């Protein structure tokens, strides 16, 4: 992953692209009937930037034809793969892509 970029891993069904995606942080806020079309993991390394992750999730949801995203979790992991001075931070956001019925 390049510095300054957020990436999305998605597994699920794809539909015609959509132009608008609603964003939810609680299942209780969703007032429409829906079906889950897939699971997504948004990640951004090196910097703590959930805004970039959110933008990447929205872009990917539109491309896969989702009508909404439900954010289901968030993790921050500090890793040191080689030496103490080479540490970096992974920020991950898990989400469900939804299609309204």
Reported pTM: 0.83
pLDDT value, residue 6 = 85
Sign of the four-CA dihedral 52, 49, 12, 26: negative
List, for residues 78-101, the tens digit of each pLDDT value: 656 665 555 555 788 999 999 999
Short-list 7, 23, 34, 31, CA closest to 72: 23
pLDDT value, residue 46 = 57
pLDDT value, residue 75 = 83
Q: What is the DSSP letter of 58?
A: H
CB atoms within 10 A of CB 41: 17
Question: Residues in the chain, how many?
Answer: 101
List, for residues 31-80, the tens digit of each pLDDT value: 999 999 999 999 886 556 778 899 999 999 999 999 999 999 988 766 56
Answer whether 99's CB lies under 8 Å from 67's CB.
yes
Residue 16 confidence (pLDDT) above 90: yes
């Amino acid at each position: 992953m390049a510095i300054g970029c957020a990436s999305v891993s998605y597994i699920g069904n794809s539909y015609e692209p959509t132009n608008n995606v609603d964003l939810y942080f609680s299942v209780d806020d969703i007032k429409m009937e829906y079906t889950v079309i897939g699971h997504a993991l948004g990640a951004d390394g090196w910097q703590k930037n959930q805004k970039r992750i959110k933008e990447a999730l929205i872009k990917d949801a539109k491309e896969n034809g989702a009508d909404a995203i439900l954010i289901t979790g968030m993790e921050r992991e500090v890793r040191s793969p080689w030496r103490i001075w080479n540490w970096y931070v992974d920020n991950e956001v898990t989400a469900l892509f939804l299609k309204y019925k």
